[in-house]
Amino acid sequence: MKDYLQLFLVFAQVGACTFGGGYAMLPILQREVVEKRGWCTAEELADYFAIGQCTPGVIAVNTATFVGAKRKGNLGGVVATLGVVFPSVVIITLIAAFLKSFAHIEAVGHAFAGVRAAVVALIASSVLKLGKTTVRSLPAAVIFAAVLLFSVFDSQLEAAFPAAAFLFSPVTYVVLAGAAGLALSLRRKGGKNG
């Protein structure tokens, strides 16, 4: 029972310290799950992020489920998931109850602007940490650069090629990157066997 409580509390702490969505949670997860507790390796966490991105739902919730399941099985996955969403449910309920009362106050607007700036920094930190653990080879760097370029210019590409607009989406990028990684892996194995 103690392990489940710890799992819940760690992910509740992660959920409570995160502003700006799942990506802002990534550096906190890295610190709490990999560096402090050793519940998984940096590579495993990067895999959980990738799978969490490809599956329906919020990436941080999906990642919490994977880490909890690795740590304590299916029940651990449920406990970690409940832990990570619990603070958000409480905070959102309170904000929804009182938002109309203070949303017009200038200081509140400035506070939200500060939070948005912090979220950008947290996401940038996540990208740098993930990049160090996942982009370790030339093929991975090429896939990274291609997806980055396409995602930065996707609105211009959609305008230039309206008939193929469906190709310029994050889902397509993830699927194509996975297929490219698989193809490169099979090619490498074929080269070793041949």
Q: What is the pLDDT of residues 108-144, one digit of tens each?
A: 778 878 888 887 887 788 788 778 877 888 888 899 9
Instruction: Give the residue from 134, 165, 185 where a domain finishes.
Output: 134
pLDDT score recorded for residue 194:
53
pLDDT over threshold 70, residue 88: yes
Please check whether residues 143 and 123 belong to one and the same domain: no
pLDDT score recorded for residue 155:
84
What average pLDDT score do residues 180-191 get? 81
Please check whether residues 121 and 167 belong to one and the same domain: no
Six-digit token pair at 189?
């194995």
Max CA separation in the chain (angstroms): 71
Q: How far apart are the C-alpha atoms of 9 and 145, rounded to whole Å?
A: 38
**Cα→Cα distances 66→46, 104, 180, Å:** 11, 40, 24
What average pLDDT score do residues 86-91 get? 87
pLDDT over threshold 90, residue 5: yes
pLDDT score recorded for residue 86:
92
Please check whether residues 128 and 41 belong to one and the same domain: yes
Q: How far apart are the C-alpha atoms of 81 and 57, rounded to whole Å?
A: 12
What average pLDDT score do residues 164-181 get? 84
CB of 15 within 8 A of CB of 86? yes
> Which residue did the predictor score with more confidence, 84 or 57?
84
Please check whether residues 180 and 123 belong to one and the same domain: no
Please check whether residues 89 and 34 belong to one and the same domain: yes
What average pLDDT score do residues 66-94 get? 90
Q: Is the model's pTM score more than 0.85? A: no
Please check whether residues 114 and 193 belong to one and the same domain: no
Helices (H), the chain: 2-16, 22-29, 42-54, 59-102, 106-134, 138-152, 154-160, 170-193
Q: Give the number of other CB atoms < 10 A from CB of residue 150.
A: 17
Give the CA count within 13 Å in the CB-facing half-sphere of 44. Answer: 15
pLDDT over threshold 80, residue 54: no
Percent residues over pLDDT 90 in the chain: 16
Six-digit token pair at 183?
């193809």
Q: Give the number of other CB atoms < 10 A from CB of residue 130.
A: 20
CA triple 146-120-6, angle to 5 deg: 105
Domain hosting 111: range is: 1-134
pLDDT band at 27 (very low <50, low <70, confident <90, very high): confident
Q: How far apart are the C-alpha atoms of 62 and 172, rounded to whole Å?
A: 20
Q: How far apart are the C-alpha atoms of 118 and 19, rounded to whole Å?
A: 8
Q: How far apart are the C-alpha atoms of 19 and 65, rounded to whole Å?
A: 19
pLDDT over threshold 70, residue 83: yes
pLDDT over threshold 90, residue 169: no
> Tokens 């999906």 label which residue?
62
pLDDT over threshold 90, residue 8: yes
pLDDT band at 18 (very low <50, low <70, confident <90, very high): low
Please check whether residues 117 and 147 belong to one and the same domain: no
Candidate from 27-41, 58-72, 153-167 with smallest mean pLDDT: 153-167
pLDDT score recorded for residue 29:
83
CB of 49 within 8 A of CB of 130? yes
The structural domain count of the chain equals: 2
